[in-house]
Chain A
Amino acid sequence: NAGVTQTPKFQVLKTGQSMTLQCAQDMNHNSMYWYRQDPGMGLRLIYYSASEGTTDKGEVPNGYNVSRLNKREFSLRLESAAPSQTSVYFCASSELGGGSSYNSPLHFGNGTRLTVT
């Protein structure tokens, strides 16, 4: 049982380049999330998808777009990377979303370390 799988694990981009971070979960979870982790800032929510077919902005959505491709997959796209987007990105999923979110601890992927030069 793989859980939450993120690819790639590491990536270096030049300013202005674009890329997509992939995330897939095999736990049949309804909700999926993208967080970024920066030193001294904790985890900040970028976007989330409470259920298939819906996406919502989190705390720091600017510069990112997301796609909930199907129930399993939730991708994060940087259209024009900036040095401020250098971070570790975590995808997570939870069993229940929307009004039932109270029963759902998050399951995290192993992270993608992105450097933008």
Chain B
Amino acid sequence: AQSVSQHNHHVILSEAASLELGCNYSYGGTVNLFWYVQYPGQHLQLLLKYFSGDPLVKGIKGFEAEFIKSKFSFNLRKPSVQWSDTAEYFCAVNARQAGTALIFGKGTTLSVSS
């Protein structure tokens, strides 16, 4: 079964700082990878996804993530964070085979101070 690890539980940054949130997964086969964001009091929304092709994927709001297959990683990055990026971020993976569902990491809380 697949699993997902997010290394940072809580990250605190000032506005304009750069962001990188780590995500590693464990699964030997082909996977689909996602980052979701949950703003305070809201439900989860898709930030970006990787299925195949260019390992550097761009999502909404200036976020991007890089899939490094050899490291089983899918780290999320943003060059310059804003106060409005304060949220909880979840990495998720599902094995590309019949009948599987999306498995989430435990989440990283990002707090951005203005």
A residues neighboring B (CB under 8 Å): 31, 33, 35, 40-45, 48, 50, 56, 58-59, 90, 92, 94, 97-99, 101-103, 105-106, 108-111
Which chain A positions have C-beta within 8 A of B49? 105
Q: Which residues from 65 to 114 on chain B have a C-beta closer than 8 Å to any C-beta of chain A?
A: 90, 92, 94, 96-107
Asked if A56 contacts B46 (CB within 8 A), the reply is: no
The docked-state distance in angstroms from the alpha carbon of A58 to that of B91 is 17
Which chain B positions have C-beta within 8 A of A97? 99
With contacts defined as CB atoms under 8 Å apart, how many contacts are there between chain A and chain B in the complex?
A: 67
Asked if B104 contacts A42 (CB within 8 A), the reply is: yes
Q: Which of A33, A43, A50 has the most CB of B within 10 A?
A: A43
Counting CB contacts under 8 A, is B43 at the interface?
yes
The docked-state distance in angstroms from the alpha carbon of A103 to that of B34 is 11
Quick one: given A90-B43, A90-B44, A111-B43, are A103 and B101 in contact (CB under 8 Å)?
no
Quick one: given A102-B94, A109-B43, are A41 and B51 in contact (CB under 8 Å)?
no
Asked if A102 contacts B99 (CB within 8 A), the reply is: no
Residue from A40, A48, A99 in contact with B97 in the complex, judged by beta carbons closer than 8 Å: A99
A27 → B minimal CB distance (Å): 14
Asked if B96 contacts A101 (CB within 8 A), the reply is: yes
Residue from B6, B44, B106, B107 in contact with A108 in the complex, judged by beta carbons closer than 8 Å: B44
Residue from A44, A56, A101, A111 in contact with B104 in the complex, judged by beta carbons closer than 8 Å: A44
